[in-house]
Structure 1
Amino acid sequence: MKSTPLSLLCATLLLVLPAFAQFQFFDQMFNQGGQQQQQPQNAGSDSAWYKQQYEAVHCDKYLCPSTLSCVHFPHHCPCAFPEIEDKVELDDGSMVCVSKGGYKAGEAARKIQLARKGLL
């Protein structure tokens, strides 16, 4: 039996099209159909992205500027990187996050208090 170019083309398409459809399915599933959220790249000097995020948050209490968390009081704000930062509440009702930097527990808070008193 002699195969014609048309029958070869049809056989090839029957094998290739299902595989192509399968790859399109996985591409859409993992890439959300090509719609990826854009993250700022090297945006240190551009505050537009941060302003957009800040304005999109709804908070009827205090909005923490570093984490955009909504809390009752400024000293309730969490640190952005609690694994590597210690939160230190200051006497004036504010707080700061400082690098743990290998200090003993509570050492960063003690040094901040000493510095505020002018002893360090």
Structure 2
Amino acid sequence: MHLTTLLATYLLLILPASAQFQFFEQMFGNQQGGPQSHQPQNMGSDSVWYQQQYENARCDKFLCPQTLSCVHFPHHCPCPFPAVEDKIEFGDGSMACVSKGGWAKGEAGRKVELARKGLL
């Protein structure tokens, strides 16, 4: 019983000190003589990562190729960057994401329609 009390007291003294040193190691990067430098990790220049994500995606409906979203129909796919893209749905059930154009809302859609008619 006395050994258990001694061990518990020892742990109560050692664990907070250990946690304190771990905090400082993380804060200062566990390096000697300077701040921690973070090197960016570049993605590969091929499509292997995307292909792996696509193959591992589970969808029993339609898997959107740009966003890997699972939707009922292809024209329901979201644009990957909705803040800067407008979604244009075509009558044949397909869609496209195009860069937002100009200042007027829906201007990209109007330009696509003009292009489809051969007027742009």
Q: TM-score normalised by the shorter chain: which range applies?
A: 0.5 to 0.7
TM-score by length of 2: 0.66
| Aligned residue identity for 2:117 | K
One-letter amino acid matched to 2:19 = A
Matches within 5 A, 1:29-48: 41-43=42-44, 45-48=45-48
Identity rate, percent:
70
- Over 3 Å counting, the alpha-carbon distance change for 1:66 and 1:113 in structure 2 is same
Q: Aligned pair in 2 of structure 1 residues 87, 40: CA closer, same or farther (>3 Å)?
A: farther
* SS of structure 1 residue aligned to 2:88: strand
Q: What is the CA–CA distance in structure 2 between the aligned matches of 1:104 and 1:52, rounded to whole Å?
A: 39
Per the alignment, residue 106 of structure 1 pairs with 106
Q: Which residue identity is paired with 2:64?
A: C
Q: Structure 2: which 5+ runs fail to align?
A: 1-12, 27-39
Deviation at 1:21, TM superposition (A): 3.4
RMSD, aligned CA: 2.7
- TM-superposition CA deviations, 1:25-49 (whole Å, max 9, x none): 684xxxxxxxxxxx97243x41100
Structure 1 stretches lacking a partner, 5+ long:
1-13, 28-38
Q: What TM-score do the two structures reach when normalised by structure 1?
A: 0.66
How many Å separate the matches in 2 of 1:85 and 1:46?
A: 25
Q: Go from structure 1 to structure 2 and tell me whether the alpha carbon gap of 1:20 and 1:53 turns closer, same or farther (over 3 Å shift).
A: same
Output the CA distance in 2 between the equivalents of 1:42 and 1:59. 25
Deviation at 1:112, TM superposition (A): 0.4
CA distance in 2, matches of 1:99, 1:73: 22
